[in-house]
Amino acid sequence: MAKYLLKRIFYLLLTLFIVITVTFFLMKLLPGTPLQNQQKLSPSEQHLILKQYGLTKPIWQQYLTYVGGVLHGNFGTSFQFSDQPVSYLISSRIGPSLLLGTQAMILGVVPGILVGALGAIKKNTWVDTTTTIVSILGISIPSFVLAVLLQYFIGLKLHLLPIADWGGFAYTVLPTIALAASPFADTARFTRTEMVDVLNSDYIELARAKGLSKWGVIYHHALRNSLIPVVTIIGPLAVNIMTGSMVIENIFSIPGIGEQFVKSILTNDYPTIMAVTIVYSVMLMVVLLITDIVYGIIDPRIRISGKSN
Amino acid sequence: MRLSQILALGTVSGAALLLLTACGAQNNRHLARSQTLHWVESADLPTMDPSKSTDVVSGDALHNVDEGLLRIGQGSRLRPGVAKSYRVSKDGKTWTFDLRHSKWSNGSPVTAADFVYGWRRTVKPSTASQFAYLYDHVKNYATINKGKRAPAKLGVKAHGPYQLVVTLSRPQSYFKYLVASQAFLPQNRQVVEKYGSKFATNSRDAVYNGPFRLTGWQGTNDDWTLKKNRQYWDAGQTKLQAVKVQVIKDQGTWLSQYQSGKVDELMTDGTQYRQLKNSPEMHIRDSASMFYLEFNQRQGFFKNNVDARKAIALAINKPSLTQNILADGSQAPKGLVPTRLAKKGSTDFADDAYVKSGTTYNLRQARRLWKKALRRSGRSSITLNLLADDTPGGKKTVEFIQSQMAKLPGLRLTTTNVPFNVRLNRSTTGDFNMVVSAWIADFPDAVSFSSLFTSHNAYNRGHWQNKDYDADVKNAEGKDANDPDARWHDLVSAEKTLMQQQGVVPLYQRNQAQMLKPYVHGVQYFPTGAQWDFSRAYISDHQ
């Protein structure tokens, strides 16, 4: 297991290095500058400002400086926020994003599994039809549309929850729901399909034949076995939530990194774009790593070990 | 200005103060109990360093928490700031400011040395200020900014703690507006040096001398509060206890927050403006930005071809562009200089310099002139390209102009939309036939536009040249710089020449449409520089 982990972490770092390199050179192809007032600056004034940001050096030198900085945890200085280190920008903004992401993940996956299981158990009844309709709606309504609908009806018309802004649990409810809708629907659909399969399999028949209670069979045999494929989709779901958060944070005026990412792209603030890309990559790779480990725990057959080598 | 004209700003302000106190007593009965204004910015606050601020959000914040020598007020009229009064020497090159006794929010006095320190800091190359160019008339600016001379040589000196003397390299009548802008704010040396690179990167590592002070800004968060500054010399006039500012980047969310009463204002986008334009809460805010068409007159078809330029100008229906196509509160132009930018008494520059043929729409005349222009160049048809930004506004504009040009016989107009940088590059190198350009004035004076089109100005992308125009602008900047009437006349004459010769075609004046709650009063708006001043604002009783 330790050897496996080390190998995975090595690959993770390698991937990260490639991501940094590719993003760096892609960014250099974009026409962004820290000049806010380009039209009114003389060439010598422009040169002076670019020099302050180290942008007059050859690109390979800028690349080495950048990679060197990243190794020391220095992501450079933001173009939009003067004198503000990008590492501070991200560390002060990552809290709301992580909180929302975690809440959305829990709110999406746990009820998703329950609803999916319920649909499978009550297959071809009105319960099944209702849960299927709900999950299809969850998949087909984009999060930003749901966000606006929630803002309009629950925030503006019913005054139940704040429309936007940040400052306490009440402010997280609507964005969490908007973000959680699609993971919820995905999980519910997946769980239902898997569970229907599992419930028809021989070992379930056997368990029933042995006289186990209905719920005992469902909990011990059906649900556990259905969860393996569900774990597989947690990785993609996390990506879903991360990309969704860019839009959702903007709509709900949440001071997170998703919102910052959008702003950085619009203002060509590439030190920030680079750093946020790295943070997103790390988060995604860590989620995938955890998924793989969880896999092994749920199903011993999948556990990869060095023994066969 | 004859001899050392002393502007008794102090006396004027004293009288105004009495008047305001009288009004105040009457208004107080209607004041709401909570004097908190809920404002919105659509972007983050990037810095509070006066030397590094380039954007409107930090401009708004700095304008309200700090104060320069003078303060800009309603209708772009100046009122005294840290300076009680000032006088200008006969040659217009020496400006002497007498400062009042006022304090920073940490209790230390605001002195002439703070101005000297702040100005030198903005100009020196290591600061890399993007607004240092506003100092270009101050003695030794250029050499200091290039690093060839020490910052201490800048033409600004403290004569004792309360007198500041500025030496200009050449007269600049609008210098008075510049000293009211954020690039010319005082900076407290002890504070700047104490916090070093952290200075003004959050609300605690800074110090304020304006009507408000900034709180609750950690450097990257998207809400902050301007609290009344009790150390401010004129704090008695500040009615608001706080201005809570929130960043909202999504237009739909902003509208919902406004409708639910969580925020007191909304800058509408095109769609919202169309829905809300008849609301009594709608206010049109003129900004000093003008979009205009430039012709490449370096060589080729438009060179010395006034008929062709006029034909194109006459064939564009500007009111239709602003009302039907852009439909965001923008207005059809009266000339190159925006309306309500510069005034002499009650006369608006744009009215005084109005040339009907320069901005009007007349298709029949346009066709006649166009045929004439084609005949003279010996062609029966021509293909031209129109260059513009790839923004939504840029795309709408070129599509509209293309449809209008279809009515000119023998003209085929192709269009190209490119990113801002590319547009600038191609404009500078002359790689275009026609280009949609834009300019925003830095200060409320007509010359901020007029100076663009002298023969050798770098912003004159089309190389339009006219001797009379050059002479007029040169006089306004030189010989008549100290004579407001003659200077006004020079600039009016220059603008008329530009329009009669159709050196450029003004397309639209970009305005902003704002919804403001009816209980908010006294917020001042400026078309140039910082946008909002809350120092005289108050909330009336509305419960």
**What secondary structure does DSSP assign to A126-192, as a single string?**
HHHHHHHHHHHHHHHS-HHHHHHHHIIIIIIIT--S-SS--SSHHHHHHHHHHHHHHHHHHHHHHHH
Do the Cβ atoms of B532 and B23 come closer than 8 Å?
A: no
Query: Is pLDDT at A244 greater than 90 in this prediction?
Result: no
Instruction: Inspect the interface and report whether the beta carbons of B145 and A80 lie closer than 8 Å.
Output: no
Least confident of B74-78, B234-238, B442-446: B74-78
| pLDDT interval class at A39 (50, 70, 90) | confident
Q: Which residue has the higher pLDDT, B517 or A285?
A: B517
Which candidate in A81, A87, A91, A166 is best for mutational testing of the B interface (most B CBs within 10 A)?
A81
Helix or strand holding residue B108 (H, E): none
Give the structural domain span for A125: 88-308
CA distance A155 to chain B (A): 8
| pLDDT interval class at B73 (50, 70, 90) | confident
Which candidate in B131, B148, B250, B257 is best for mutational testing of the A interface (most A CBs within 10 A)?
B250
Characterize the bridge pairing of strands B282-295 and B504-516: antiparallel
* Range among A119-133, A255-269, B14-28 with highest mean pLDDT value: A119-133
Which amino acid is it at B479? K
A82 vs B49, B257, B420: nearest CB: B49
Question: Chains A and B: how many Cβ contacts under 8 Å?
Answer: 125
- Domain contains A126: yes
Query: Is pLDDT at B26 greater than 60 in this prediction?
Result: no
Domain count, chain A: 1
A48 vs B125, B218, B260: nearest CB: B125
**SS in 3 state form for B514-543?**
EEECCCEECCEECCCCCCEECCCCEEECCC
Query: What are the phi and psi torsion angles at B540 (to 5°)?
Result: -90, 165
Instruction: Inspect the interface and report whether the beta carbons of B223 and A250 lie closer than 8 Å.
Output: no
Spatial CB neighbours of A148, under 8 Å, sequence gap ≥ 6: A251, B252
Between CA B338 and CA B446 the distance in angstroms is 8
Question: Which of A 221-250 lie inside 8 A of B, CB atoms?
Answer: 250
Least confident of A37-46, A119-128, A150-159, B195-204: A37-46
Q: Is B80 helix (H, G, I), strand (E, B) or coil?
A: strand
> Under the phi-then-psi rule, with left for phi > 0, alpha for psi from -120 to 50, and beta for the rest, what region is B397?
alpha
pLDDT at B514: 96
Nearest partner of B494 among B460, B529, B527, judged by Cα: B460
Give the residue-averaged pLDDT of B15-37.
Answer: 60
Q: Dihedral angle at the C-alpha atoms of A11, A14, A16, A20, nearest 10 degrees?
A: -170
pLDDT at B86: 96
Instruction: Inspect the interface and report whether the beta carbons of B260 and A155 lie closer than 8 Å.
Output: yes
DSSP β-bridge partners for residue B138: B168
pLDDT at A302: 65
Task: Please tell me which residue of chain A has the smallest CA distance to B425.
Answer: A39
pLDDT at A19: 92
Long-range contacts at B423-432 (CB < 8 A, ≥ 24 apart): B423/B387, B423/B388, B423/B389, B424/A38, B424/A39, B426/B387, B427/B294, B427/B387, B427/B461, B428/B458, B428/B461, B430/B296, B430/B298, B430/B461, B430/B463, B432/B296, B432/B385, B432/B387, B432/B461
Instruction: Inspect the interface and report whether the beta carbons of A81 and B223 lie closer than 8 Å.
Output: no
Give the residue-averaged pLDDT of B450-472.
Answer: 93
Instruction: Inspect the interface and report whether the beta carbons of B257 and A164 lie closer than 8 Å.
Output: yes
> Under the phi-then-psi rule, with left for phi > 0, alpha for psi from -120 to 50, and beta for the rest, what region is B43?
beta
The answer to whether A45 contacts chain B (CB < 8 Å) is yes
Least confident of B101-105, B344-348, B409-413, B503-507: B344-348
A36 vs B55, B223, B439: nearest CB: B55
Helix, strand, coil shares, percent, chain B, to 5: 35, 25, 40
Between CA B369 and CA B312 the distance in angstroms is 9
pLDDT, averaged across chain A:
87
Nearest partner of B69 among B143, B133, B162, judged by Cα: B162
Question: Which of B 154-213 lie inside 8 A of A, CB atoms?
Answer: 197-201
DSSP β-bridge partners for residue B297: none
Instruction: Inspect the interface and report whether the beta carbons of B220 and A80 lie closer than 8 Å.
Output: no
| pLDDT interval class at B7 (50, 70, 90) | very low
| pLDDT interval class at B174 (50, 70, 90) | very high
Query: What are the phi and psi torsion angles at B451 (to 5°)?
Result: -65, -15
Query: Is pLDDT at A24 greater than 70 in this prediction?
Result: yes
The answer to whether B219 contacts chain A (CB < 8 Å) is yes
B220 vs A33, A36, A84: nearest CB: A84
CA distance A40 to chain B (A): 8
All structural domains of chain B with their residue ranges: 36-245+517-539, 286-512
Between CA A104 and CA A138 the distance in angstroms is 13
Task: Please tell me which residue of chain B has the smallest CA distance to A247.
Answer: B250
Task: Please tell me which residue of chain A has the smallest CA distance to B45.
Answer: A81
CATH class of domain segment(s) B36-245+517-539? alpha beta
Instruction: Inspect the interface and report whether the beta carbons of B252 and A148 lie closer than 8 Å.
Output: yes
Between CA B248 and CA B253 the distance in angstroms is 7
Over residues A134-174, the pLDDT tens digits come to 999 998 999 999 999 999 999 999 999 999 988 889 999 99
Characterize the bridge pairing of strands B36-41 and B242-247: parallel
Task: Please tell me which residue of chain A has the smallest CA distance to B42.
Answer: A253
pLDDT at B15: 40
Instruction: Inspect the interface and report whether the beta carbons of B247 and A253 lie closer than 8 Å.
Output: yes
Between CA B506 and CA B397 the distance in angstroms is 12
The answer to whether A265 contacts chain B (CB < 8 Å) is no
Which candidate in B222, B244, B290 is best for mutational testing of the A interface (most A CBs within 10 A)?
B222
pLDDT at B1: 38
Do the Cβ atoms of A244 and A262 come closer than 8 Å?
A: no
Q: Which residue has the higher pLDDT, A210 or B160?
A: B160
- Domain contains A63: no
CATH number for the domain including A262? 1.10.3720.10
Residues of B in contact with A156 (CB under 8 A): 256, 259-260
The answer to whether A193 contacts chain B (CB < 8 Å) is no
CA distance B243 to chain A (A): 16
Query: Is pLDDT at A231 greater than 90 in this prediction?
Result: no
Query: Is pLDDT at B176 greater than 60 in this prediction?
Result: yes
Give the residue-averaged pLDDT of B491-506.
Answer: 96
| pLDDT interval class at B16 (50, 70, 90) | very low
Query: Is pLDDT at A287 greater than 60 in this prediction?
Result: yes
CA distances from B295 to A103, B260, B377, B426, B437 (A): 57, 48, 16, 13, 10
Which candidate in A40, A77, A89 is best for mutational testing of the B interface (most B CBs within 10 A)?
A40
pLDDT at B24: 42
> Which token pair is B31?
């004041």
The answer to whether A33 contacts chain B (CB < 8 Å) is yes
| pLDDT interval class at A303 (50, 70, 90) | low
Nearest partner of B352 among B248, B518, B225, B499, judged by Cα: B499
Q: Is the ipTM of this complex over 0.85?
A: no
Q: Is B165 helix (H, G, I), strand (E, B) or coil?
A: strand
Query: Is pLDDT at B17 greater than 60 in this prediction?
Result: no
Question: Which of B 261-300 lie inside 8 A of A, CB atoms?
Answer: 262
The answer to whether A40 contacts chain B (CB < 8 Å) is yes
The answer to whether A205 contacts chain B (CB < 8 Å) is no
- Domain contains A19: no
Which candidate in B39, B44, B294 is best for mutational testing of the A interface (most A CBs within 10 A)?
B44
Do the Cβ atoms of A185 and A137 come closer than 8 Å?
A: yes
Q: Which residue has the higher pLDDT, B229 or A283?
A: B229
Nearest partner of A80 among B43, B161, B404, B347, judged by Cα: B43
Q: pTM of this prediction?
A: 0.86
Q: Give the single-character DSSP code of B331.
A: B
Query: Is pLDDT at B23 greater than 90 in this prediction?
Result: no
Q: Which residue has the higher pLDDT, A296 or A216?
A: A216
Q: Which residue has the higher pLDDT, B19 or A276?
A: A276
pLDDT, averaged across chain B:
91
Instruction: Inspect the interface and report whether the beta carbons of B145 and A48 lie closer than 8 Å.
Output: yes
B249 vs A35, A49, A253: nearest CB: A253
CA distance A156 to chain B (A): 6
| pLDDT interval class at A224 (50, 70, 90) | confident
Q: What angle do CA A230, A231, A233 make, to 5 degrees?
A: 70
Question: Which of B 34-53 lie inside 8 A of A, CB atoms?
Answer: 43-44, 46-47, 49, 52
The answer to whether B429 contacts chain A (CB < 8 Å) is no
Over residues B365-423, the pLDDT tens digits come to 999 999 999 999 888 999 999 999 988 889 999 999 999 999 999 999 999 999 887 89
Between CA B92 and CA B481 the distance in angstroms is 8
A152 vs B54, B256, B458: nearest CB: B256
The answer to whether A56 contacts chain B (CB < 8 Å) is no
**A223: number of Cβ within 10 Å:** 22
The answer to whether A39 contacts chain B (CB < 8 Å) is yes
Spatial CB neighbours of B9, under 8 Å, sequence gap ≥ 6: B79, B80, B83, B84, B85, B86
Query: Is pLDDT at B27 greater than 60 in this prediction?
Result: no
Task: Please tell me which residue of chain B has the smallest CA distance to A77.
Answer: B197
pLDDT at A304: 55
DSSP β-bridge partners for residue B243: B37, B226
> Which token pair is B320?
């239709």
> Under the phi-then-psi rule, with left for phi > 0, alpha for psi from -120 to 50, and beta for the rest, what region is B332?
beta
Q: Dihedral angle at the C-alpha atoms of B403, B409, B412, B417, nearest 10 degrees?
A: -30
pLDDT at A107: 94
Task: Tell me the CATH number of domain B286-512, given options 1.10.1520.10, 1.20.1280.50, 3.10.105.10, 3.40.50.970.
Answer: 3.10.105.10
Instruction: Inspect the interface and report whether the beta carbons of A253 and B54 lie closer than 8 Å.
Output: no
Query: Is pLDDT at B13 greater than 80 in this prediction?
Result: no
Q: Is B372 helix (H, G, I), strand (E, B) or coil?
A: helix
- Domain contains A292: yes
Give the residue-averaged pLDDT of A98-114.
Answer: 93
